[in-house]
């Protein structure tokens, strides 16, 4: 009986561990306000806002970010694709998860949500 209880407890523990560490990159229903906007604010806006924005690319609000996304330059730059300047300039590449989330947001129709 005791053995059964122990087995049940370790069984549950394992399930929890899988949920916690399985896949923590959520690309379903990526929201502009919760995911994309903070990502761009933290990594890009320091260089890409105002009159003297680097490369003439402004990324300080939804309209500016969606324009860069529509042109293909946003993904080209953060994915370090050939033919685009690699961004964020002077810092390490964004995580694979962040890049996937940007791609998912574009694929889901650039929602301002
Ligand atoms: C330290 C300053 C700096 C940061 C931080 C930065 N950029 Fe840039 N970015 C530049 C400069 C300078 C250029 C223009 C010169 C060039 O293309 O290298 C540029 C160009 C670009 C371009 C045009 C690229 C092309 O080839 O058409 C895009 C798109 C872009 N940045 C997006 C981003 C995004 C998205 C981030 C954040 C993940 C970011 N940048 C972070 C400085 C920066």
| pLDDT surpasses 80 at 43 | yes
Question: 58: which residues sit within 8 A by CB, 6+ positions away?
Answer: 48, 49, 50, 64
The domain containing residue 37 runs over which residues?
A: 27-107
The pLDDT-based confidence of 65 (bands split at 50, 70, 90) is very high
Is 55 contained in some domain? yes
Supply the pLDDT for residue 24: 82
Ligand 1-lining residues (CB < 6 angstroms): 43-44, 46-48, 54-55, 57, 68, 73-74, 77-78, 84-85, 87-90, 94
E strands, 1-113, are: none
Is 86 contained in some domain? yes
Is 13 contained in some domain? no
Is 18 contained in some domain? no
CA of 29 to the centre of ligand 1 (A): 26
Nearest-CA residue for atom 10 of ligand 1: 54
The pLDDT-based confidence of 93 (bands split at 50, 70, 90) is very high
Domain count, the chain: 1
Supply the pLDDT for residue 79: 98
Is 87 contained in some domain? yes
Cα separation, 6 vs 1, whole angstroms: 9
The model's pTM is 0.84
Is 16 contained in some domain? no
| pLDDT surpasses 80 at 6 | no
From the list 100, 29, 110, the residue with the least C-alpha distance to 62 is 110
CA of 111 to the centre of ligand 1 (A): 23
Query: How high does pLDDT run on average in the chain?
Result: 87
Nearest-CA residue for atom 31 of ligand 1: 87
Index of the ligand 1 atom closest to the CA of residue 83? 26
Is 12 contained in some domain? no
DSSP annotation of 35 reads I
Is 57 contained in some domain? yes
The pLDDT-based confidence of 29 (bands split at 50, 70, 90) is confident
């Amino acid at each position: 009986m005791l053995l059964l209880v122990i087995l049940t407890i370790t069984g549950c523990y394992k399930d929890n561990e899988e949920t916690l560490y399985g896949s923590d990159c959520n690309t379903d229903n990526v929201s502009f306000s919760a995911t994309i906007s903070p990502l761009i604010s933290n990594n890009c806006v320091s260089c890409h806002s105002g009159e003297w924005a680097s490369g003439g690319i402004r990324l300080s609000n939804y309209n500016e970010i969606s324009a860069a996304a529509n042109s293909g330059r946003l993904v080209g730059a953060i994915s370090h694709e050939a033919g685009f300047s690699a961004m964020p300039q002077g810092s390490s590449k964004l995580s694979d998860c962040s890049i996937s989330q940007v791609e998912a947001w574009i694929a889901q129709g650039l929602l301002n949500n």
